[in-house]
Structures are given as C-alpha cells and as structure tokens.
Chain A
Amino acid sequence: MLTLEHVTKVFYPGTVNEKLALEDISLTVEQGEVVCVIGSNGSGKSTLFNLISGTYPVTSGRIILDSKDVTHQPEYKRAFTIGRIFQDPTKGTAANMSVEDNLITASRKGMRGLGISLNDKKRAYFRELLGPIGLSDRLSDNVGLLSGGQRQALTLLMTVLSNPSMILLDEHTAALDPGNAATVMNLTQKYIEKYSLTAVMVTHNMQFAIDYGNRLIMMDEGQIIFDVSGAEKKKLTVERLVQIFKEIKKKEFATDRGLLAI
C-alpha cells in the first residue's frame, strides 16, 4: 500500500536554521493495517505525514503508493488515495460555507464541472450521514458556526465520504475536550472498520496506541526507533514501552559518547 525508502527530510538545508527532521526512514504499511504512531514533540511525526501527503518535498528517498512512485507527485494528486485529518479542527472544512456545501465538495475526488450535484436527494442522504454526529438539522448553517468537536466530526465524515484507501490522522482529537475526543475517536474507529481503511494515526496516548490497531511505531529525533505488531504488540504495557524507550535512548547515548571519544 505505502512504502517509504530511505526518506530523509532536511529543513532549510545549508543555512543556520538547517534542521534534520527525518533521517533515513524506511517503512512499509500494508493494505488494511492500522498503525499507531507515538513519539515526543518534535520527533517528526507530522513531518512524516507531510512527506507522505506531498505537502513538502522529500530531501532524498522515495515514496511509493499503491506500487506507484509518487515522490514527485503534487499533494492534490496523492489526495485521491490519501485522506488526512489534522489536529487543528479548522483545517479540514471551509468555514465560509454551509455544511451541505462542504459535504458536496467532499463527496468525490478530482476537478469538478458545471453540474449541480446538490439536490434534495443528496440532502436527505447527508442528513442521514450527519445523524450520528448530531448535525442533521444544520445542513444550511455555515461550518464556522460549529464547535471544534462538531467540525472535527464533520471533517472525519468528509474524509471518508470521498473514499480514500488510506487515512492519516495527526492527533486529530487533541484539540477537543475529553467527551468530544471520545466521540470523534469512536467514530474514527467505526469508519476505519466499516470502510476497511488503512490508517496511520498519531496519538500521545500510549495506552490507546497499545490497545488500538495492529501495529505501533515509536519515533524519536526523526527516526523510527521501535516498530511492533501483532501478538507482540498486544503484550505491551505502558511501563514496558517507557522502559524500551529509555533503553534505546541509553544505547544511543552510549554510542554518541563512543563517537565523541574517538
């Protein structure tokens, strides 16, 4: 489904601000896999998503999506395969437009023509879809009037509506209160199951990352330092995860010291 080969990202190369954000990442995500990504702030999780989606170009390496090399494909073309949800609830919807206009814009991929797709049949369909998130009667309200939680739920709906085969979720419930976060997360899991989506999800909740999905990736300083799936993942505990993290860091520290000593 998705393969990254030796992907590296350097921001502002050759300047004083030069920043190695991702270092030699190789990763394959299979069709139907649900991957949780954890890692401290600044470890490169969002950058990884930005490279996969095509928001930023890679510095080196290759990205292969559905066995096609998309390394130099613009973001809007990759969007045919990839759906994406950001932490910021305002990023996924157009606030200046009504809920129904947002939904109709999201109902398929690709450039549009001069047809008018929005009709009463579509409205009835949207009303039905909006039922579970309690927005059935707000079709003609501007999205700007919705709360963050409602907007994020709508974003989720819009994302699955246009049928991506893979979704990237970047702490998409982090800006919501606990109640809304739980609702949106439940909805997410429901959609992933219902549409058999391949999903990669960044979360800061270690317990959740252990419980949910069939693979867990830990990132640190631009590298994938731990990658576990299946039964082995199920056996993990938060304490064990923290311990593993410390062990890896200690080893790194030791080799760094070794390098310095030479």
Chain B
Amino acid sequence: MIEGIFVDGLIFSIMALGIFISYKIMDLADLTCDGSFATGAAVAAVCIKSGLGITLALILGFAAGALSGMATALIHCRLRIPGLLAGILVMTMLYSVNLRILGGANVPLLGVKKFYTEVPRILGFLPSEWASLAGTIAIVLLMKGLVDLFFRTDLGLSVGAMGGNEQVVISQGMNPETLKVIGLGFSNGLIGFSGALLAQYQGFADANLGTGMVVQGLAAIMIGDFLFSTNRISLLTLRVILGSIIYKALMYGGRKYGYLVGITPNDFKLLTGLLVILSLAVAKARSGASDRGARRKAMDKVAAKANGGCNADA
C-alpha cells in the first residue's frame, strides 16, 4: 500500500514539476495543465492501444503536452490575451480534442503491455509493487535531471530571468515571446508525460483526468516550500517532488481516516484550495514583514538624503 502512495505521488510530482516551471520559475499562472494532463494520457493510451510501444507513448505524451503549452504561449503573446485566459481557453478546447483522441470518454488499457506491466516483468526479482516503485523513481529522477539540467543551460537561465524580470531578457536582445513558448512547452510537456504515465498506472485514460490538477499541483509545490529554503535548482525540484509525495500521502490519510472527523473525498478539492490559500497567505505575511523592513530602511535613506543631499537644483 505504502508503495502505492509513493508511486502515485511520484507520477503526480512530474506534473507538479511542470507547474513549478510555469508558476514559480516563469511567474505565469498557467491553467493549460488541466487539459494537457489528460491530453498526454489520451495520446499515450491510444499509442499503447495501437501497439506503438511504451517508449513512444511516453514521448508522444510529452510532445502532445508541449504542443498544448506552446499553443497557450502563442495565444497569450501574439494576441495579447492575458496568460490566465489563454490557459483557460486552451484547457477548454483541449477537452474536446481529448475526446476526439480517445474516440470516447474513456479508453481502458487492459491486457496490453504498458509501463507498469513491463517494468515488474524486467525487474522480476522484486515484488511487482516494489518493481513499479523502482521504475517510477527512475523515471522521476530522469525528469528531475532534465529540469535541473535545462535550468542550468544558458537558455534555461534566460527563461528564469524572464520570470524574474522580463526587461532583463529584452535588454539582452532576446524575444520574451520565444522564451515563453519554450518555457510553457517544456512545462506542459512534463505535465503531458505525467498524464501518459498515470494512464498506464491506473490502466485507463479518460477525458476528465486533468480536472483540478493545477490546484493540486500548486498545493504540492507550497507544501514543498515549507520544507526548506534554497535557491539551487536541484533542491527546488527535490522540494517539489517531496511536496507532491506528502500531498498524496495527506490525501491518502484523508481517504482512510477522514471519516473520523467527518471528511469524505468529496471535500478534498475544498481542502486543497484552502491549503493553497493558507500557504499563499503565510507567504504574503512573511514577505510583507520583510517589505516593511525594507520600507523603513528606504525611509531612513530618504531622510539621510534630505539632510545630506545638495543638488544644485534642489
């Protein structure tokens, strides 16, 4: 059972990494996720069904997600539609696209080779749950490695700089639109990949798979924020993964013991939302405190200037 929580949390963490890129690094609230997650799952399911193989299913799941993210970025940049709205538009349109890809509301993956049948077969010396966990850990480490590596490259750093201050990348002669397309493409690629993996884990893909994912991902990221503070990319991504596992464990605990306090799984969305609001409020209060400190310092400076400044035109 415990392995199940970990596998669940780890698959989920790949999606959270995607949201981490858009929300934290690029400072863009991207809602494409709810659609692109299911798109990744749908593409992978159809791939596997038609015998294209597991690897290709995962790669195409990533690609489908990436295309969705790029679509959002292009709508946002080219038509000057706010990012939030662009994401909602793409997410909504993807719902229909996903139904088309699936050819219905749901595609079961029973009796076919998928990641979670093949890995236990290859790692036959382990009990199948543990083999699944090992396979998932390997995949997550690979994805984490990719993210870490990307944000150390010159291109990745520029995407990060854009998130901090768009003017900086403009001043360096880079088109921020290109960086947004690349960033949201990568972000939603991970999200689609996560969907592609989840479809294989739970044995089906359906068009509603992505509902509420953004908020859950944000909750995981914010739980991670409380763990430790750092500015190193490898630790930031580690934090996201840990936060995701903790979030899934909390949900599991809620499902199992929630009845003791009268909580049912129907309440989870409400609780997740409250968790995000609470985290944001705490973060605001913290930065508000340091802002006030900074303002006091600034006031002192102004006072010093008034006393010591001697501009000719003053």
- Interface of A toward B, CB cutoff 8 Å: 74-77, 79-80, 83-84, 86, 90-98, 101-102, 104-106, 108-118, 140, 142, 148, 159, 162, 177-178, 204-208, 238
Contact = CB atoms under 8 A, between A and B. Distances in A.
The 8 closest A-B pairs by CB, nearest first: A94-B164, A109-B173, A112-B154, A96-B164, A207-B312, A94-B161, A112-B155, A94-B165
Interface in B130-188: 150, 152-155, 157-158, 160-165, 167-176, 178
B161 A79 contact: no
B168 A79 contact: no
26 contacts: A76-B169, A76-B175, A84-B171, A90-B165, A92-B167, A94-B161, A95-B165, A102-B161, A102-B168, A104-B154, A104-B157, A105-B157, A105-B168, A109-B172, A111-B173, A112-B153, A116-B154, A118-B157, A142-B231, A177-B301, A178-B305, A178-B309, A204-B311, A205-B311, A205-B312, A208-B312
Nearest to A81: B173
Given A83-B171, A105-B168, A205-B313, A114 B161 contact: no
Contacts of A94: 160-165, 168
Nearest to A74: B175
A76 B167 CA distance: 9
Given A84-B171, A205-B313, A97 B153 contact: no
A79 B155 contact: no
Contact of B172 (A140, A162, A177): A162
SS class of chain A's interface: helix, strand, loop or mixed?
Answer: loop
Nearest to B311: A205
A96 B312 CA distance: 37
A156 to B, nearest CB: 12
Nearest to A147: B297
A94 B167 CA distance: 9
B170 A75 contact: yes
A102 B161 CA distance: 7
